[in-house]
């Protein structure tokens, strides 16, 4: 069981070590984020536009990451097939 302030580290899906309490932002989380408005606060429309832009960029990054993982798996599978075809069979080794 992991406690909230546990120093234990987990391997994230993007290849970096992160704490157990860290969760990468998703586009819908960025779009849904709201900030308190103060008397001299930020322009809510400007903040919303920026968050939409960040969320859009995150969507693209996650899509590219998925494509890269698929390509990586395809290359690994092709390499395994090639290595298997190049490796001597047990019969070939027995003849030696």
C-alpha to C-alpha distances, 62 to 20, 27, 68, nearest whole angstrom: 21, 9, 10
CB 33 within 8 A of CB 51: yes
Which residues of the chain form beta strands (DSSP E)?
9-11, 17-19
In the numeric block, which tokens belong to residue 51? 């968050």
Mean pLDDT per 10-residue interval, the chain, length 96 residues: 44 54 80 80 85 89 95 96 82 70
The pLDDT, as a whole number, for residue 15 is 54
The pLDDT, as a whole number, for residue 61 is 92
Query: What is d(CA 57, CA 49) in angstroms, rounded to the nearest whole number?
Result: 12
Return the residue matching tokens 């890269």. Answer: 68
Question: Has this prediction a pTM greater than 0.85?
Answer: no
> For the chain, what is the largest distance between any 2 Cα atoms, rounded to a whole number of angstroms?
87
């Amino acid at each position: 069981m992991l406690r909230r302030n546990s120093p234990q580290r987990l391997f994230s899906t993007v290849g970096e070590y992160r704490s157990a309490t860290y969760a990468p932002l998703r586009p819908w989380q960025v779009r849904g984020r709201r900030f308190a408005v103060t008397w001299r606060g930020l322009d809510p429309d400007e903040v919303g536009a920026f968050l939409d832009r960040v969320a859009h960029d995150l969507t693209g990054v996650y899509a590219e990451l998925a494509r890269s993982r698929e390509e990586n798996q395809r290359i690994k599978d092709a390499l395994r097939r090639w290595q298997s075809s190049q490796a001597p069979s047990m019969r070939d080794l027995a003849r030696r």
